Amino acid sequence: MNLKLHTDYGLRVLIFLARTGRRVKLEEVAQFFDISREHLVKVGQALSRHGWIRATRGRQGGLELAQDPEAIDVADVVAALEERKGVLECVLEPSICRLEPGCRLRKRLMQAEEAFYESLRNLSLADLVRRPAPHHGLSSIN
C-alpha cells in the first residue's frame, strides 16, 4: 500500500513552508529536496487549487502558506492529493469484475480506505512541525 510520490512531495512542500514561515522560491524547494522543478510545479498547483498555499509570480514571487498551519488537516491533504480512486481497480469500477459481481471485498476495501483517512484526522500541519518537548520535563520548569 503506497501513497503517490505526488502526495509525498505535497506534504514535504507544506512542511517546508510551515517550517520556514516565509515566501520561498520554487527553486529553493526543488533544490532542498532534490526533486524536479516540473513535478514541483504540478504539486504546487494542486496545493494552490485547494487553497493551502498561494503562488505568486515575478521576481518577488514564490510559494507561501495561504492558511494557518493549525487549520490545515493532513488527512484532507492526503485525501485530496491521492484523489481517492479506490485501492483496487474494481473499487472504482465494479463493472470490470469478471468473478464476483456482489463480492464483499469492494465495500470492505472502501471502509478500510476510510479507516486509513479517519486515523489521520485531526493531525494538523502545525503538529508536523512542532518541536518535540525536551526530555526530563524541563519545558514545564521554564
Element (H, E) at 65: strand 62-65
* Complete DSSP assignment for 110-126: HHHHHHHHHHHTT-BHH
| 85 part of the interface to a copy of itself, by CB under 8 A | yes
Residue number, 55 or 87, with CB nearest to a copy of itself: 87
Q: Is 104 in the site for a copy of itself (CB under 8 A)?
A: yes
Segment lying near a copy of itself (by CB under 8 A), choices 36-44, 54-62, 65-73, 108-116 = 108-116
Backbone angles phi, psi at 83, to 5 degrees: 65, 5
Size of the chain, expressed as the number of residues it contains: 142
Residue of the chain from 132, 135, 141, 142 that contacts a copy of itself (CB under 8 A):
132
If one asks whether residue 80 binds a copy of itself (CB under 8 A), the answer comes out as: no
Task: State the burial class of residue 10 (Cβ atoms within 10 Å of its Cβ: 0-12, 13-18, 19+).
Answer: buried
Q: Return residues touching a copy of itself (CB under 8 A).
A: 1-3, 7-8, 11-12, 15-16, 19, 32-33, 74, 82, 84-85, 87-90, 98-100, 102-105, 108-109, 111-120, 123, 127-132
